[in-house]
Chain A
């Protein structure tokens, strides 16, 4: 039973970490007033980038390449929604399509039409002495690849930046009342663009985790809708970095439960577990879990 619980927590973490990476950046973007449906594209871009980076420069190169590829997609998205004030939903959808198409094509062009599996070594697990020996939760929390620890650091830094710096305050103002923020001397466009690049970087890292820390390989479309999950996670996490991680864990747990039920052959509708986090998110939005309010200017371009 204990072993099963440990496995369950490990599976939870495995699903949650890439989602949390993507949702963390999405959270920042949305606090700045931009809903980024291109996050799915940044994940797949990061995943492919990490494959290229890792096969040329090793694992560290893979992590950096994931971040860079995600960042480039974020920057392109920023050009459209910030500079050209394009509709965020449509531009985001286009980013996702573009990244899926590019990575699929490049993958097939570089690694053959059969898409032969290619393996790269995965990031080693770093066990923190003592802590990783804690029963049940130890392995899930403290015997993780370096990227998981990177996530923890990024979450802390992001939370600090968002709430404890003037720049973070300014970004939140951009998401609430961009015209007022501009009148107060905030560079709305620049901050939003920065937030979108950051969102791309973290989503790219999320994609990198899929390749470098989990599967050791790339597959077409391996982002598998995680970008859309990330958007739900941000809502459920009430637009806060720490809440985002907790919500990602909930999604991870739901997915792990589903796998368990399916594997155990129990005749439970496992799809319910997969749908549950979304239903919870909807309930939260409807006000059943306290006040959940999106940034007031979410989805709107700054008109002048």
Chain B
């Protein structure tokens, strides 16, 4: 986290230009005209106030929040790839609570709190399994993602199904439980502001507080953290895991209360997985999670417009996303080799 602003800005510019160039190239190779495709992409993502707020920012919100969850976890050496499941369970619990409790002024924080608790509980399972049985969290969180999808499926076909029992979704949540729209005429809800606050808070926490320092130390070298820092590594890992789950669960609640306004199966188009890419592109820096999430959200928002207006398949942006990740990985590998030389010296 010791990059200078100028270097960050340069890096961001290089990433954005590179992404656009790559996208144009792939569009051309696939046999479409790059000009109209990029234009549509722009229109759908940043081209208008409406598309920026209602498409890009709204999509970026869960990516920012889960991206932070992933960043904090990975930094602490917790490979929580269960963001998707934790988000879904958080969304479910939030929906369950706000639908079950009479709506009032407290409904919004109640739902958000329930979401965080749901995500935390879902993350506590792999955390306990890592602590007690030494099971790799990569495997367990992956399993729990699958279980969470079935859980949502069961809820919206069963106990939480809307009163007419026709559609596989819950009833619409009452307006007091909905996150307020913060820009009239758009779909931009208060969750967007919450996500930005969380990103700033996460950065402050990781770099400026003693607890955040301990999290980073545990991730960077658990042996030194235990021996030199006298940190209780197992306990720290558990806390990080649960906190990361709580954030992802909160993102689920924000989706339910800000965008979806009900629980249904396709609530998340893989936000939990995309957030891993977001965190990686941000080099696990909470501040950089915001532009990184915006980039991914803009790509996905623009992709829809690209398909609609220019006939370019939206799935094409997945190639770009993958290429972005791979470039970062290759870049990291080069840096690591340099560092390795320095270590030996």
Central interface residue in B139, B316, B320, by most chain A CB within 10 Å: B139
Which one of B182-190, B222-230, B322-330 contacts A? B322-330
Central interface residue in A228, A231, A271, A279, by most chain B CB within 10 Å: A271
Say yes or no: is B133 at the interface (Cβ < 8 Å to chain A): yes
Contact A101 B154 (CB under 8 A): no
Q: Which residues of B contact A225 (CB under 8 A)?
A: 146
Can you list, as one digit per residue, whether each of B151-188 has a CB less than 8 Å from chain A (1) or not (0)?
A: 10110011000000000000000000000000000000
Say yes or no: is A7 at the interface (Cβ < 8 Å to chain B): no
Say yes or no: is A134 at the interface (Cβ < 8 Å to chain B): no
Q: Which residues of A contact B336 (CB under 8 A)?
A: 85
Contact B315 A220 (CB under 8 A): yes
Contact B311 A279 (CB under 8 A): no
Task: With A98-B318, A106-B30 as known contacts, state yes or no: A232 contacts B277, CB within 8 Å.
Answer: no
Say yes or no: is A275 at the interface (Cβ < 8 Å to chain B): yes
How close is B138's CB to chain A, nearest CB, in angstroms? 6
Q: Which residues of A contact B325 (CB under 8 A)?
A: 90-91, 93-94, 97
Bound form: Cα–Cα A206–B3 in Å: 45
Contact A86 B147 (CB under 8 A): no
Q: Which residues of B contact A298 (CB under 8 A)?
A: 136
Contact B30 A101 (CB under 8 A): no
How close is A134's CB to chain B, nearest CB, in angstroms? 34
Q: Which residues of A contact B158 (CB under 8 A)?
A: 269
Contact A113 B150 (CB under 8 A): no
Bound form: Cα–Cα A228–B332 in Å: 26
Central interface residue in B31, B319, B320, by most chain A CB within 10 Å: B319
Task: With A102-B319, A275-B150 as known contacts, state yes or no: A89 contacts B329, CB within 8 Å.
Answer: no
Q: Which residues of B contact A104 (CB under 8 A)?
A: 313, 315-316, 318
Q: Which residues of B contact A101 (CB under 8 A)?
A: 315-322
Central interface residue in B129, B132, B147, by most chain A CB within 10 Å: B147
Say yes or no: is B273 at the interface (Cβ < 8 Å to chain A): yes
Q: Which residues of A contact B317 (CB under 8 A)?
A: 101
Bound form: Cα–Cα A229–B145 in Å: 11
Bound form: Cα–Cα A97–B318 in Å: 6
Contact A299 B136 (CB under 8 A): yes
Q: Which residues of A contact B322 (CB under 8 A)?
A: 94-95, 97-98, 101
Q: Which residues of A contact B142 (CB under 8 A)?
A: 37, 228, 231-232
Q: Which residues of A contact B135 (CB under 8 A)?
A: 285-286, 294
Q: Which residues of A contact B277 (CB under 8 A)?
A: 90, 93-94, 97
Q: Which residues of A contact B136 (CB under 8 A)?
A: 35, 294, 298-299
Bound form: Cα–Cα A204–B26 in Å: 24
Chain A contact residues: over half helix, strand or loop, or mixed? helix
Residue of B nearest to A97 (CB): B322
Say yes or no: is B246 at the interface (Cβ < 8 Å to chain A): no
Bound form: Cα–Cα A98–B315 in Å: 10
Say yes or no: is B280 at the interface (Cβ < 8 Å to chain A): yes
Can you list, as one digit per residue, whether each of B283-309 has a CB less than 8 Å from chain A (1) or not (0)?
A: 000000000000000000000000000
How close is A27's CB to chain B, nearest CB, in angstroms? 13
Say yes or no: is B140 at the interface (Cβ < 8 Å to chain A): yes
Residue of B nearest to A99 (CB): B322
Residue of B nearest to A30 (CB): B139
Contact A84 B139 (CB under 8 A): no
Contact B276 A90 (CB under 8 A): yes
Say yes or no: is B143 at the interface (Cβ < 8 Å to chain A): yes
How close is A205's CB to chain B, nearest CB, in angstroms? 22
Partner of A282, one of B132, B140, B153, B313: B140
Bound form: Cα–Cα A86–B140 in Å: 21
Central interface residue in A85, A101, A109, A285, by most chain B CB within 10 Å: A101
Contact A105 B139 (CB under 8 A): no
Contact A93 B30 (CB under 8 A): no
Say yes or no: is B193 at the interface (Cβ < 8 Å to chain A): no
Partner of B154, one of A113, A220, A271: A271
Say yes or no: is A212 at the interface (Cβ < 8 Å to chain B): no
Contact B81 A275 (CB under 8 A): no
How close is A185's CB to chain B, nearest CB, in angstroms? 23
Say yes or no: is B11 at the interface (Cβ < 8 Å to chain A): no
Say yes or no: is B333 at the interface (Cβ < 8 Å to chain A): yes
Q: Which residues of B contact A108 (CB under 8 A)?
A: 313, 315
Residue of B nearest to A108 (CB): B313
Task: With A105-B313, A299-B138 as known contacts, state yes or no: A86 contacts B146, CB within 8 Å.
Answer: no
How close is B24's CB to chain A, nearest CB, in angstroms? 14
Q: Which residues of B contact A87 (CB under 8 A)?
A: 329
Can you list, as one digit per residue, whether each of B71-102 has a CB less than 8 Å from chain A (1) or not (0)?
A: 00000000101000000000000000000000
Task: With A98-B322, A285-B140 as known contacts, state yes or no: A89 contacts B276, CB within 8 Å.
Answer: yes
CB within 8 Å of B: which of A159-208? none
Q: In the A-B complex, list the 10 residue pairs whose CB atoms are closest, starting with the nearest.
A: A101-B318, A104-B315, A98-B322, A101-B319, A84-B333, A275-B150, A94-B325, A97-B322, A108-B313, A271-B154
Q: Could you pull out 12 A-B pairs where Cβ atoms are within 8 angstroms?
A: A84-B333, A93-B81, A97-B277, A101-B316, A105-B316, A232-B139, A232-B143, A272-B154, A282-B125, A282-B143, A286-B129, A298-B136
B interface vs A, CB < 8 Å?
26, 30-32, 79, 81, 125, 129, 132-133, 135-136, 138-140, 142-147, 150-151, 153-154, 157-158, 273, 276-277, 280, 311, 313, 315-323, 325-326, 329-330, 332-333, 336
A interface vs B, CB < 8 Å?
35, 37, 80, 84-87, 89-91, 93-95, 97-98, 100-102, 104-106, 108-109, 113, 220, 225, 228-229, 231-232, 235, 269, 271-272, 274-275, 278-279, 281-282, 285-287, 294, 298-299
Further 17 A-B residue pairs, CB within 8 A, beyond A109-B30, A275-B151, A282-B125? A80-B330, A90-B325, A94-B322, A97-B321, A100-B318, A106-B30, A109-B32, A225-B146, A228-B142, A235-B143, A269-B158, A271-B151, A275-B150, A279-B147, A285-B135, A287-B133, A299-B138
